[in-house]
């Protein structure tokens, strides 16, 4: 499958507030924790070998679940394959909480829901559609009925 790699690498080099060196472990059996420089940009999680310019990989943060695994560890599960977890080890509890929060809010679908919510509420409060002035009221992606249903609640912690 082709993709615009150069453009994505360029994107990965942009400054972001959510970047740090974390311990990262892949989902496969036998994968070990490795120090990686992790950057959250738009809805992608890029991860680099420390001091390298080009990322090793990019994870699209859509249709995934982020969970706290331990005081300083969080996981991301993709494709509803609960056994295939990416683990990230942070330096502190606070950093861990911040990353979880940031990743959840980074998803495009999450933002779309927020937009629909604000649009609806502003309309109720003011009688006006706030998207009219941008000329995007009719775009399918911003329609009230296009937002995803809420995700099922996460399983209770074991």
Partner 1 sequence: MKIHKKILTHYLSCTSPVDKEGYLYKKRERNTTYLRRWFVLKGNLLFYQERPGDRNLLGVIVLEGCMVQACETDGQFCFSLVFTGPGLRTYRLAADDHPSQESWIAALFCASHIYLSMIVRDLERRYEEAKRDKGLCVSIQTSEVTSAPNTIMASWYTGQPYFIQGTSIVPRDGRSYSTSSIAPTYVPNRPSNFSLHAPPAQFKATNKRSPKLWPKRNAHVTPLNGPAPSHSEWPMMGFDPLEEFSKLHEHYGNEVRQLRADWLKKKRKETGYIEEDLIDLG
Task: Show contacts with partner 1 in window 82-121 (CB under 8 A).
Answer: 101, 104-106, 108-109, 111-121
- CA–chain centroid gap for 101, Å, is 9
Conformation bin of residue 154: beta by default, left when phi > 0, alpha when psi is -120 to 50: beta
The number of residues that bind partner 1 (CB under 8 A) is 78
Enclosing H/E stretch for 96: helix 93-106
Residues 50-89: x/- map of binding to partner 1 (CB under 8 A)? ----xxxxxxx-xxx-------------xx----------
Q: Does 139 contact partner 1 by CB under 8 A?
A: yes
Distance in Å, CB of 118 to partner 1, minimum: 4
Stretch that binds partner 1, among 28-36, 38-46, 66-74, 89-97 (CB under 8 A): 38-46
| CA-to-CA dists, residue 23 to 35, 47, 75, 127, angstroms | 5, 11, 11, 50
Using only C-alpha atoms, the chain has a radius of gyration, in whole angstroms, of: 18
Indicate which single residue of 49, 70, 71, 148 sits in contact with partner 1 (rule: CB under 8 A): 148
């Amino acid at each position: 499958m082709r993709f615009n790699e150069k453009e994505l690498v360029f994107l990965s080099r942009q400054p972001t507030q959510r970047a740090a060196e974390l311990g990262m472990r892949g989902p496969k059996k036998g994968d070990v924790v490795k120090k990686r420089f992790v950057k959250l940009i738009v809805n992608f999680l890029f991860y680099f070998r420390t001091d390298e310019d080009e990322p090793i990989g990019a994870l699209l943060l859509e249709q995934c679940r982020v969970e706290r695994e331990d005081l300083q560890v969080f996981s991301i599960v993709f494709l509803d394959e609960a056994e295939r977890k990416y683990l990230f080890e942070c330096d502190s509890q606070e950093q861990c909480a911040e990353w979880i929060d940031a990743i959840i809010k980074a998803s495009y679908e999450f933002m779309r829901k927020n937009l629909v919510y604000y649009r609806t509420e502003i309309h109720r409060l003011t009688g006006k559609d706030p998207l009219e002035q941008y000329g995007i009221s009719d775009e399918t992606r911003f329609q009230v009925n296009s937002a995803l249903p809420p995700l099922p609640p996460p399983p209770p912690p074991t």
